[in-house]
């Protein structure tokens, strides 16, 4: 009877790996691929419902530390300071890299530019270039803005010619209508989702600039192979950060997107899945 009483005293949780409801926060940059991940997961687990809230990356981290979201998907790992906060708050994070993504540089179809090197890109972003573009981002707290400041500008401030459009879709819409605009968006917003052969074709509403790899001298667009090899200069990663201390629905969803089916969804979204074995082969075209 003592053993039975002990079993009954075990903590009860409202959700399991494949059952219940949960709210998670996801970087808005990844909305196209994560909407598909959520749909497939929910159809695979009828008793589970993952409510995905798409937000700027900075808001995802706020939700995580406020315990509004046990699981977040973002483009960086926790900093040393954030790990210390977790320890003080008795939050025990689990982090895993899921895939590589590329930031696409979009131009109006009437723009004379098709290729940009890094010094030119830096000049445009700081407003010091002779090319007078209006620069458009999705949100001032977005992962794209953080990546550009950290990795492209090396901490230098953005120029007064930089504006926020409140979403990646809105960036594409603005650039499409304004010849003097240049935008920075997640790859999912410019990939041709009806491409039957998954060749990585881009939408034709805007022009996708080729960015120079300063080491090789090549001008590259954000195709999947260049993202896989990290030869495309604006390549970054996507991580999940999970705080569940029991096998709950957040862990179940995290396991799904890190597993075979979830990784295949990343692949078909033209990202590079890092949890699956992929082979890249060189090919030559004979005339």
Count CB-CB contacts under 10 A for residue 215: 8
Average pLDDT over residues 204-227: 96
pLDDT over threshold 80, residue 12: no
Average pLDDT over residues 29-57: 96
CA pair distance 235, 217, nearest whole angstrom = 17
pLDDT tens string 30-41? 999 999 999 999
- Collapsing DSSP states into helix, strand and coil, what is residue 120? helix
Query: What's the pLDDT at 14?
Result: 86
Contacts of the segment 280-286: beta carbons below 8 A, 24+ positions apart: 280/225, 280/228, 280/229
Q: Which residues pair with 55 in a beta bridge?
A: 27
Query: What's the pLDDT at 287?
Result: 53
pLDDT tens string 88-128? 999 999 999 999 999 999 999 999 999 999 999 999 999 99
Query: What's the pLDDT at 201?
Result: 84
Rg, C-alpha atoms of the chain: 21
Residue 1 — very low, low, confident or very high, per pLDDT cuts 50/70/90?
A: very low
Inter-residue contact 196 to 183 (CB < 8 Å): no
CA of residue 7 relative to chain centroid, distance: 42
Inter-residue contact 76 to 238 (CB < 8 Å): no
Overall residue count recorded for the chain in this entry: 287
Structural domains in the chain, sorted by start: 15-100+237-273 (3.40.190.10), 101-235 (3.40.190.10)
Joined tokens for residue 48: 């589970």
Q: What is the DSSP string of 33-99?
A: HHHHHHHHHHHH-TTEEEEEEEE-HHHHHHHHHTTS-SEEEESSPPPHHHHHHHHHTT---EEEEEE
CA pair distance 251, 195, nearest whole angstrom = 32
CA pair distance 182, 159, nearest whole angstrom = 13
Inter-residue contact 272 to 235 (CB < 8 Å): no
Query: What's the pLDDT at 192?
Result: 81
Residue 5 — very low, low, confident or very high, per pLDDT cuts 50/70/90?
A: very low
Average pLDDT over residues 7-28: 84
Strand order in the sheet with 115-116: 115-116, 210-212, 219-220
CA pair distance 178, 174, nearest whole angstrom = 6
pLDDT above 90: percentage of residues in the chain: 86
Task: Please tell me the pTM assigned to this model.
Answer: 0.89
């Amino acid at each position: 009877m003592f053993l039975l009483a002990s079993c009954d005293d075990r903590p009860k949780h409202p959700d399991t790996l494949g059952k219940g409801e949960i709210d998670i926060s996801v970087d808005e940059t990844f909305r196209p691929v994560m909407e598909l991940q959520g749909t497939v997961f929910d159809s695979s687990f009828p008793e589970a419902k993952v409510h995905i809230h798409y937000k700027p990356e900075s808001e995802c981290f706020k939700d995580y530390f406020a315990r509004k979201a046990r699981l977040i998907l973002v483009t960086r790992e926790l900093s040393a300071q954030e790990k210390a906060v977790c320890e003080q708050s008795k939050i025990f994070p689990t982090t895993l890299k899921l895939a590589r993504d590329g930031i696409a540089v979009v131009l109006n179809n009437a723009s004379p530019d098709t290729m940009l090197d890094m010094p030119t890109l830096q000049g445009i972003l700081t407003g010091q270039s002779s090319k007078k573009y209006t620069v458009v981002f999705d949100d001032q707290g977005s992962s794209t803005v953080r990546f550009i400041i950290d990795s492209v500008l090396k901490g230098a401030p953005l120029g007064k010619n930089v504006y926020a459009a409140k979403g990646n879709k809105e960036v594409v819409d603005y650039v499409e209508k304004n010849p003097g605009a240049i935008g920075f968006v997640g790859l999912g917003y410019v990939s041709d989702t009806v491409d039957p052969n998954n060749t990585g074709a881009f939408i034709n509403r805007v022009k996708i600039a080729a960015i120079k790899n300063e080491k090789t001298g090549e001008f590259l667009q954000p195709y999947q192979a260049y993202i896989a090899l990290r030869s495309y200069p604006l390549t970054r990663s996507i991580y999940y950060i999970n705080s569940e201390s029991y096998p709950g629905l957040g862990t179940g969803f995290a396991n799904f997107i890190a597993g075979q089916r979830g990784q295949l969804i990343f692949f078909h979204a033209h990202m590079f899945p890092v949890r699956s074995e992929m082979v890249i082969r060189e090919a030559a075209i004979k005339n």
